[in-house]
Amino acid sequence: MSCKITFQPLGKRCIINENQTVLDIVRKNGIRLNNACGGNGTCGKCKIQIKCKMPSSLKNEDYKYMNPITKIEKKFLTKMEIINNYRLACFTKIYEDAIVYIPDQDNEMENIILDRGRNLKIDINSSIKTYDLIIKEPSLEDYRDDKQRLVDAICKVEKSISNLKIDYSLLKNLSSILRRNHWKVNVVVRNNDEIIDVRNILKSRIYGVSIDLGTTTLAASLIDLKNGKLITRKSKMNSQIQYGDDVISRISYCMLNTNGLDELSNIIREDINTLIYQMAKENNIDINDIFEIVIVGNTVMEHIFLKLNPEYIGKAPFVSGIREFIEVKLRQCDIVASKFGYLCFLPIEAGFVGADNVAVLLAEKPYLKNEHSLLIDIGTNGEIVFGNKDKLYSTSCATGPALEGAQLSFGMRATNGAIEKVKINDITLEPTYEVIGKVLPKGICGSGIIDVIAELVRLKIILKDGSFNSNIKSDRLIKVKNKVKEYVLVWKEESGIDRDIVIKQKDIRAVQLAKGALYAGAKLLIKHSKIKRIDKIILAGAFGSYIDKKNALYIGLFPTCPLDKIEVVGNAASEGAKLALLNVIEREEAKNIAKKVEFVEVANERDFQKEFFEGMNFPYGISIN
Amino acid sequence: MSCKITFQPLGKRCIINENQTVLDIVRKNGIRLNNACGGNGTCGKCKIQIKCKMPSSLKNEDYKYMNPITKIEKKFLTKMEIINNYRLACFTKIYEDAIVYIPDQDNEMENIILDRGRNLKIDINSSIKTYDLIIKEPSLEDYRDDKQRLVDAICKVEKSISNLKIDYSLLKNLSSILRRNHWKVNVVVRNNDEIIDVRNILKSRIYGVSIDLGTTTLAASLIDLKNGKLITRKSKMNSQIQYGDDVISRISYCMLNTNGLDELSNIIREDINTLIYQMAKENNIDINDIFEIVIVGNTVMEHIFLKLNPEYIGKAPFVSGIREFIEVKLRQCDIVASKFGYLCFLPIEAGFVGADNVAVLLAEKPYLKNEHSLLIDIGTNGEIVFGNKDKLYSTSCATGPALEGAQLSFGMRATNGAIEKVKINDITLEPTYEVIGKVLPKGICGSGIIDVIAELVRLKIILKDGSFNSNIKSDRLIKVKNKVKEYVLVWKEESGIDRDIVIKQKDIRAVQLAKGALYAGAKLLIKHSKIKRIDKIILAGAFGSYIDKKNALYIGLFPTCPLDKIEVVGNAASEGAKLALLNVIEREEAKNIAKKVEFVEVANERDFQKEFFEGMNFPYGISIN
């Protein structure tokens, strides 16, 4: 019997057999885990946390999904650790699909998977303002109530304000706060409309967080709302990944499990809290000074986060519960920052075209330009927008996780040990490659796979239909019954995982499906728009910023066009979220865009199937102009 | 050692000695309690619930405030009853001041203590509206999100609406609700602004509750918001009474006890929930169909209910935390009705002049009239308003609970056994009296005490300064050292409590203090207004509707004026609350009035002390015109 283990935060999937320990697997797959004693059970360094996938409701007490904890382990683990399912990898055997969390690896990950944005210049016009006030004390002649006294003091310095609401839970403590601070306070006002904090006059800092909530990755920025300065950025894996790679599997989980939605939502809320807490702590920032959080993400992530039923997004006619801009108090969604602060979700365009795409538009502003832009945002789900200031059309296509390095035989995220660049020699067919982190290679990330496939196509090792060319001979091409089945990119001896790293036929198929979906989406969207001209291709998404444009163009990942017309903008969704966090006018703009973009359900278009299959071919997919 | 026991919901205070059982005291004071076996411990009928005043945080486990529960009692009580401190009165001895709750006596009370309002005719213009909708199902051609689809359907039938918010917790279930009901739903909209329920199309009823939250009594009305029909009324004692009779003792409790505010607030929230639950249940109404609750009450009750610190209302300069109209979600203050509904508190005028007084003004509308009205609302705290459409002045005075029958030697609330009317024969000095409920008399309620004192003054048994006239001889006048100390209203043999019912010198002093406060308040308010003319005296408050106007006038409870100019309007605060519940224009009016009334702190006026002492005199207090 063997089971699947996913190592987090690495995102690495492995198989474990009944008689193997987790440490065996860790070593075999070249995963970094401190084990000073070499697995002898004497150092206690190889701590891991086991998270079993099985819903706890289905478990009974006799149920065993791993071997029982040993006396030696108990010696090395605290009581809290034992309660929280911590083990030592060298003693642990696992009998069921599980997620194994390796503590302290988050830090190592962060710099690598962090988004590369353009750092647009932003005019600061935040929803949050603060005022230092010295308030007149009450007397028998001036017996205004505390709240009115406060509002009057604000209106005196801010002429544009005539009245203000106050958060009810803040009101509960207002009288005490004013007196404790001897009527000298710093007041935080949101949207010129609501008092959201009253605090010691020595406090004046206000922070916000923008978050790109991806199906796979979360990226957060902690920003000073007074000057727009980026304090820090941090990212982490979306812990929901243990419930499936894509949005459809997450929806299924919500539908098939009692409290499934709550469970998934709480996981992502905890992820966000972890990021906020870490960013604040490392920069000596009081989390109570974080007053506003802007989130962008795809529609399913948004629904799950907000605990809105995502069921109907997943099936025709793909309808969301809500599309408009949403703001709720942070405490209503269990986010640990100022309890009086707000969380905003940018609006959704339609079904699968979510707030993340609105954020991309906000960052790139094709709706202000004359030129016709084709925006492609590649994630686990691909979104495409086409048009200019006159009109914008959008669609979405299920590209799958292949382009992000997931679900390939040796796919991995763009972190230490990932092959990110590949060249193949024309004559010897021997590859040369670059590995992130200058360590022995452990797998291939998205940009690496594009390079390999482009090279294989260029050298005709892969044919137009994506199958291996069995006429080419090389040690690197492994044949079974005279048919080539895989290309060996790294021999076992040179790899960090004690195995060959290979590109299999099924890996090529996965990339073909992804590019077929993108191709059909782009082509049918352009056709629908009746616009004949593409002036510019904008490639957004973290993935896009790592790939070799030429190779991507060559394998037909997006429409053929001159290389200099392709612009790589990195994680534009994160940039858009920052814009909406720092400027209320941008936020209004987001509301308008979301309404204006016309969503085109390309799967309904007559030629969809034909275009999809054409798009799967090599070397070229789509040709326009 | 002896301690004080307050029997609730009766409000009767008694003394208990160490060797007496609660049943002994019950019998001695003529309190109704089923004890079929005559105290032999064989019937189990004399169930009572003991509530000790001592904060639980101060208790240790060894602490004994009553004798331990006996085996026999355990036989008659359920486990839940034992946990909740139920006992049998015939076995229970109490060693500490406590409140003893007699179950099932609420019902007997309710009809008696219920407010007598004027039942004003009200134009129905409620904040809550409902719509029956058949919504177009989503399709690939029409993929609007669920929320937009719903809003569009409402806007189609209600042209004045262009957009609507939706309660976040309702939104969480919206998609499921729409589909479960096959897109045929009844929608509840508040203030043309927010969707607060979406339910089965067979549902269409909407209810509201108006509540007069008094220091002593709560009165609630359950009202059909579609037609304004009163479904039922119910009242109950404010359970906070165990923490003291007046607002000052409640404030002290909050200040002196950790979590004191939460404790008092939770008690009153529970009281309100009990009333709502009972009213709904008895009328087969689903509490989830109750969408709006309007509360009026004095400033301290409002602050405690809302968990706002009441500390600064209680000391100079008597400043409240907030004065404006407040609305919060019902769930934010733990009220069990529709979880999407709202609770509104009418605005406060100033310090001690609370939302209850605003409600009185709303009901009586002196601000629309030419005539100069003097409104007197007598409760544990007295509020006085004077003026007309040009200008209104208000003040408050600490009348104390004497006029409501509390804190007098034989005072009791206006319930069964209370003497409510008294005449004394000019020659024999023998009294005749009427008793509520046609039973043997147990005590005297407010209207009774006014009558007795008026008669004693008329017959010169009481002198101008309030002292007994020792020159008058009668068996009814009990002398100690040649000075009359009390008047015997009922001899032991005729009373229901096996004791004489008497009016003591200190009882007369209590009434003098109350009328002195009212006198000084009214006189100084009128003086401050510079208006020379009173056209009308309006007597509000439940107390006012029971008293003999002539006698009240005679002892100088309010300014001298022709009897036909005195109008008794009953519980006008309750009526005002109903107006604000049923008509949003009235609600706006309340906001305006609260701002316009000028509060006068009469205690600051130069002649306060002089007027106060003058007002304590008999027979006349104040004379104007």
B599 at interface of A, judged by CB pairs closer than 8 A:
yes
pLDDT average, residue stretch B471-498 = 90
What are the E-state strand segments in B331-381? 342-345, 373-378
Nearest-by-Cβ selection for B145 from A179, A316, A323: A323
CB-CB under 8 Å, B604 with A309: no
pLDDT at A434: 93
Residue numbers of B between 170 and 199 with CB closer than 8 Å to A? 171-176, 179
pLDDT at B579: 96
Classify the C-alpha dihedral A305-A306-A309-A313 as positive or negative. Answer: negative
Q: How far is A95 from chain B (nearest CA, A)?
A: 37
User: pLDDT class for A416, splitting at 50, 70, 90?
Assistant: confident
pLDDT at A277 over 80: yes
What is the distance between the alpha carbons of residues A242 and A101, in angstroms, rounded to a whole number? 11
Please give the model's pTM, rounded to 2 decimal places. Answer: 0.81
Q: How far is B138 from chain A (nearest CA, A)?
A: 7
ipTM of the complex: 0.80
What is the rounded radius of gyration, in angstroms, for the C-alpha atoms of chain A? 27
Q: What percent of chain A has pLDDT over 70?
A: 93
B146 at interface of A, judged by CB pairs closer than 8 A:
yes
Of all residues in chain B, the one with the smallest CA distance to A255 is: B176
CB-CB under 8 Å, A146 with B324: no
User: Which residue, among B168, B254, B261, B352, would best test binding to A if mutated, counting the most A CBs under 10 Å from its CB?
Assistant: B168
Q: Which residues of chain B lie closer than 8 angstroms to A142, CB-CB? A: 317
The edge-to-edge listing of strands for the beta sheet with B373-378 is B566-570, B536-540, B373-378, B382-387, B392-397, B598-599
pLDDT at A119: 66
B335 at interface of A, judged by CB pairs closer than 8 A:
no
User: pLDDT class for A350, splitting at 50, 70, 90?
Assistant: confident
B438, burial (CB in 10 Å: exposed 0-12, middle 13-18, buried 19+): exposed
User: Which residue, among B309, B311, B313, B349, would best test binding to A if mutated, counting the most A CBs under 10 Å from its CB?
Assistant: B309
User: pLDDT class for B63, splitting at 50, 70, 90?
Assistant: low
pLDDT at B502: 94
Residue numbers of B between 444 and 483 with CB closer than 8 Å to A? none
Of all residues in chain A, the one with the smallest CA distance to B137 is: A317
Nearest-by-Cβ selection for A317 from B143, B171, B318: B143
B192, burial (CB in 10 Å: exposed 0-12, middle 13-18, buried 19+): middle
Q: How far is A258 from chain B (nearest CA, A)?
A: 15
DSSP for A521-564 reads HHHHHHHHHT-----EEEEESTGGGTS-HHHHHHHTSS-B--GG
Mean pLDDT (chain A) is 88
CB-CB under 8 Å, A171 with B309: no
User: pLDDT class for A321, splitting at 50, 70, 90?
Assistant: very high
B142, burial (CB in 10 Å: exposed 0-12, middle 13-18, buried 19+): exposed
Which three-class secondary structure state does DSSP give residue A574?
Answer: helix
pLDDT at B105: 58
pLDDT at A107: 46
Residue A480 has, within 13 A of its CA and on its CB side, a CA count of 5
User: pLDDT class for B405, splitting at 50, 70, 90?
Assistant: low
User: Which residue, among A320, A330, A395, would best test binding to B if mutated, counting the most B CBs under 10 Å from its CB?
Assistant: A320
Ranking A110-124, A174-188, B494-508 by mean pLDDT, the lowest is A110-124
Q: How far is A249 from chain B (nearest CA, A)?
A: 19
User: Which residue, among A139, A169, A302, A322, would best test binding to B if mutated, counting the most B CBs under 10 Å from its CB?
Assistant: A322
CB-CB under 8 Å, B309 with A144: no
What are the E-state strand segments in B491-565? 501-504, 536-540
A138 at interface of B, judged by CB pairs closer than 8 A:
yes
pLDDT at A40: 78
The residue ranking higher by pLDDT, A604 or B401, is: A604
Question: Do B393 and B529 meet the contact criterion of CB atoms below 8 Å apart?
Answer: yes
pLDDT average, residue stretch B522-542 = 89
pLDDT at A624 over 50: no
pLDDT average, residue stretch A382-404 = 87
pLDDT at A126 over 80: yes
Which three-class secondary structure state does DSSP give residue A149?
Answer: helix
The residue ranking higher by pLDDT, B597 or B543, is: B597
CB-CB under 8 Å, B601 with A143: yes
B15 at interface of A, judged by CB pairs closer than 8 A:
no
pLDDT average, residue stretch B489-511 = 91
pLDDT tens-digit map of A175-214: 999 999 999 999 999 999 999 999 999 999 999 999 999 8
CB-CB under 8 Å, B351 with A312: no
Which tokens hold the place of A535? 């002036």
Q: What is the dihedral of CA A29, A34, A39, A43, to 10 degrees?
A: -170
Of all residues in chain B, the one with the smallest CA distance to A316 is: B140
Name the helix (H) or strand (E) containing A80: helix A79-83
Ranking A395-404, A417-426, B83-92, B358-367 by mean pLDDT, the lowest is A395-404
pLDDT tens-digit map of A64-93: 788 888 998 988 888 888 888 889 998 999
Which three-class secondary structure state does DSSP give residue B152?
Answer: helix
pLDDT at B112: 44
A155 at interface of B, judged by CB pairs closer than 8 A:
no
Q: Which residues of chain A lie closer than 8 angstroms to B328, CB-CB? A: 168
- A 10 A CB-CB count for B598 gives 15
pLDDT at A33: 79
CB-CB under 8 Å, B145 with A306: no
pLDDT tens-digit map of B469-481: 999 989 999 988 8
* Separation of CA A222 from chain center: 16
Q: Which residues of chain B lie closer than 8 angstroms to A604, CB-CB? A: 140
User: pLDDT class for A110, splitting at 50, 70, 90?
Assistant: very low
CB-CB under 8 Å, A175 with B321: yes
pLDDT at A113: 45
Q: Which residues of A158-168 are buried (b: 16+ CB within 10 A; e: fewer)?
A: eeebeebbbbb
What residues contact residue A618 under an 8 Å CB cut-off, 6+ apart?
A453, A457, A462, A463, A464, A465, A466, A512, A555, A556
A140 at interface of B, judged by CB pairs closer than 8 A:
yes
pLDDT average, residue stretch B582-589 = 96
User: pLDDT class for B195, splitting at 50, 70, 90?
Assistant: very high
Under 8 Å CB pairs connecting chains A and B tally to 124
pLDDT at A594 over 70: yes
Of all residues in chain B, the one with the smallest CA distance to A168 is: B328
pLDDT tens-digit map of B72-88: 898 888 888 888 888 99
CB-CB under 8 Å, B328 with A145: no
pLDDT average, residue stretch B242-268 = 88
B331 at interface of A, judged by CB pairs closer than 8 A:
no
Question: Do B238 and B213 meet the contact criterion of CB atoms below 8 Å apart?
Answer: yes
pLDDT at B430: 95
pLDDT at A17: 87
What residues contact residue A625 under an 8 Å CB cut-off, 6+ apart?
A533, A534, A560, A561
B256 at interface of A, judged by CB pairs closer than 8 A:
no
CB-CB under 8 Å, B144 with A351: no
pLDDT at A29: 76
Question: Do A493 and A23 meet the contact criterion of CB atoms below 8 Å apart?
Answer: no
Q: What is the dihedral of CA A554, A557, A558, A563, to 10 degrees?
A: -30
Phi first, then psi, for residue B57 (nearest 5°) are -65, -25
Q: How far is B583 from chain A (nearest CA, A)?
A: 23
Q: How far is A173 from chain B (nearest CA, A)?
A: 7
Beta bridge partner(s), residue A134: A184
pLDDT average, residue stretch A277-281 = 96
User: pLDDT class for B113, splitting at 50, 70, 90?
Assistant: very low
pLDDT at A102: 82
Q: What percent of chain B has pLDDT over 70?
A: 93
Residue B411 DSSP symbol: B
- A 10 A CB-CB count for A467 gives 14
In SS3 terms, A592-622 reads as HHHHHCEECCHHHCCCHHHHHHHHCCCCCCC
CB-CB under 8 Å, B179 with A321: no
pLDDT at A59 over 60: no
The residue ranking higher by pLDDT, A80 or A227, is: A227
pLDDT at B316: 83
User: pLDDT class for B541, splitting at 50, 70, 90?
Assistant: confident
pLDDT average, residue stretch B343-368 = 92
Residue B404 has, within 13 A of its CA and on its CB side, a CA count of 23
pLDDT at A36: 66
Question: Do B7 and B100 meet the contact criterion of CB atoms below 8 Å apart?
Answer: yes
pLDDT average, residue stretch A605-616 = 89
User: Which residue, among B304, B307, B319, would best test binding to A if mutated, counting the most A CBs under 10 Å from its CB?
Assistant: B319
What is the distance between the alpha carbons of residues A322 and B324, in angstroms, rounded to a whole number? 34
Nearest-by-Cβ selection for B168 from A148, A316, A332: A332
pLDDT at A406: 65
User: pLDDT class for A117, splitting at 50, 70, 90?
Assistant: low
CB-CB under 8 Å, A176 with B147: no
pLDDT at B115 over 50: no
Nearest-by-Cβ selection for B171 from A308, A317, A351: A308
pLDDT tens-digit map of A470-512: 999 899 999 888 888 899 999 999 998 888 999 999 999 999 9
What are the E-state strand segments in A240-379? 290-297, 326-329, 342-345, 373-378
User: pLDDT class for A405, splitting at 50, 70, 90?
Assistant: low
What is the distance between the alpha carbons of residues A590 and A599, in angstroms, rounded to a whole number? 16
pLDDT at B623: 41
